[in-house]
Structure 1
């Protein structure tokens, strides 16, 4: 990493070595490392800046929430799915944006959901309301911090996620519906009673595999129905032969990024 890049990142609030809470980015990754810290809340994240980034300009912000298998503190595992889309040269040229991948701690969860495995199958019970999890509380703090940056366009803030991250996407929309211009969820779910909080405020594109053996397809179907009943008009894409890894097809959708960028507050 060059001195020039270190200087620019320091200006942006992504500090390296000067504070113990931040670690130096790996030179073999386009995603820089950062750590949100506020009181007892901490949240590692990776951040991708546009090519030819100019801190005097404003850029859209995209938050991507990972699944349960990528939880931890290595600030690496959360990049397992999706980065290729955002690193695509055509996407970066035509849709310059700041992309952030936060990492949920191993002992937490993005959303308020109880998972019952006593029957041998996963049964998801999504809560209506309730206090945010420790991970969600830190994520909300990180979003506020990012929105304070002069180079973030607060009219074009997007969020999406897969599996646990899809559930977290619904959750953060319920808590902060006025912030997001559009969102996508992949093999996620929510309590249908929460839909009215964001149905008319945030355009949604929902993806799911019809053969999902981990998070049943029904969890997306009932949310589509609930959002429509509450006055929303979500896009819904079902992959008839996909199991839980429907994110492979969702991130390959050529219209996903153009669709996100077509919306602004």
Structure 2
């Protein structure tokens, strides 16, 4: 019995140390713009970061459960994926954190996407949310200050971040070579803005009881109609945590890092 308890404690400590190592590998930063608005983020640089070499840039948008001001929770899902593949896919990887009372997309857009507004899931709001504006400003800052391959800038996100991924593509087209949107949904009106130049992989759990799978199906159908380079994977047994099987796909990162801006 005592040996069992010791083994459990050892495993628990290992998990804690691994999490701490992941957290420390992503450096803590805060972006503050001229209007004094701020965005907390964590950033992972390639091992042996070489100032003479250009690297891909990945922006990762977390879900609603990871909002806050600790500059920590946003690493819960996805950070291990990039750490484990750091040598095979060296890149600058950024995890911004949305404040507790904010969203990556305007809340009225979310209402319409969920069917509480226009039944065609369309809307006509003319500008992005404050948080997406800050994310875009951060992308521009990193491009100007770090060694970023501007033909290989990527964005991905899950749940609320999946919505934010589509919204970012629509609001800032011709910037992202590829995107991965997990259990989210997209504004159909904005799809034509990025359909021609961004490769997209959409994933969703068929049993999702938080974000209806139809939201991914609709934007996938729309992008197909626009002849976009789009891939769709639906996991038959997955609920809302479609990120787990998504991160387990061995072809995911090779696909992402193979894409260049069209």
Aligning the two structures, in what range does the TM-score lie when normalised by the shorter sequence?
A: 0.7 to 0.9
Report the counterpart of residue 220 of structure 1 in structure 2.
216
Q: Are positions 1:262 and 2:258 aligned together?
A: yes
Matches within 5 A, 1:168-183: 168-183=164-179
* Structure 1 length-normalised TM: 0.83
Determine helix, strand or coil for the equivalent of 2:100: coil
Q: Do the aligned partners of residues 230 and 128 (structure 1) sit closer, same or farther apart at CA in structure 2, a change above 3 Å counting?
A: farther
Q: Is contact 1:128–1:194 with CA below 8 Å preserved after alignment? A: no
Q: Is contact 1:128–1:191 with CA below 8 Å preserved after alignment? A: no
* Structure 2 length-normalised TM: 0.84
Report the counterpart of residue 33 of structure 1 in structure 2.
28
Q: How many residues align?
A: 233
Q: For 2:146 and 2:82, locate their aligned partners in 1 and report how far apart those are by CA, in whole Å.
A: 22
Q: Do the aligned partners of residues 239 and 257 (structure 1) sit closer, same or farther apart at CA in structure 2, a change above 3 Å counting?
A: same
Q: Are positions 1:99 and 2:99 aligned together?
A: no
C-alpha displacement of 1:200? 1.4
Determine helix, strand or coil for the equivalent of 2:59: strand
C-alpha displacement of 1:112? 2.8
Matches within 5 A, 1:128-167: 128-167=124-163
Report the counterpart of residue 12 of structure 2 in structure 1.
none
Q: For 1:258 and 1:95, locate their aligned partners in 2 and report how far apart those are by CA, in whole Å.
A: 8
Deviations 1:14-49 (A, max 9, x none): xxxxxxxxxxxx876210000110023210000001
Q: Is contact 2:171–2:190 with CA below 8 Å preserved after alignment? A: no
CA RMSD of aligned residues (A): 1.7
Report the counterpart of residue 67 of structure 1 in structure 2.
63
Report the counterpart of residue 12 of structure 1 in structure 2.
none
Report the counterpart of residue 205 of structure 1 in structure 2.
201
Q: Is contact 1:41–1:134 with CA below 8 Å preserved after alignment? A: no
Matches within 5 A, 1:47-66: 47-66=43-62
Deviations 1:54-93 (A, max 9, x none): 22321110110000111111100100101111011xx211
Q: For 1:124 and 1:110, locate their aligned partners in 2 and report how far apart those are by CA, in whole Å.
A: 18
Report the counterpart of residue 4 of structure 1 in structure 2.
none
Bigger fraction of residues in helix? 2
Q: Is contact 1:56–1:150 with CA below 8 Å preserved after alignment? A: no
Q: Is contact 2:166–2:187 with CA below 8 Å preserved after alignment? A: no
Structure 2 unmatched ranges of 5 or more: 1-19
Q: For 2:157 and 2:169, locate their aligned partners in 1 and report how far apart those are by CA, in whole Å.
A: 12
Q: For 1:124 and 1:217, locate their aligned partners in 2 and report how far apart those are by CA, in whole Å.
A: 16
Q: For 1:113 and 1:226, locate their aligned partners in 2 and report how far apart those are by CA, in whole Å.
A: 22
Q: Do the aligned partners of residues 99 and 194 (structure 1) sit closer, same or farther apart at CA in structure 2, a change above 3 Å counting?
A: same
Structure 1 unmatched ranges of 5 or more: 1-25, 117-121
Report the counterpart of residue 183 of structure 2 in structure 1.
187
Q: For 2:217 and 2:129, locate their aligned partners in 1 and report how far apart those are by CA, in whole Å.
A: 25
Determine helix, strand or coil for the equivalent of 1:29: helix
Q: For 2:215 and 2:226, locate their aligned partners in 1 and report how far apart those are by CA, in whole Å.
A: 17
Report the counterpart of residue 3 of structure 1 in structure 2.
none
Q: For 1:128 and 1:63, locate their aligned partners in 2 and report how far apart those are by CA, in whole Å.
A: 25
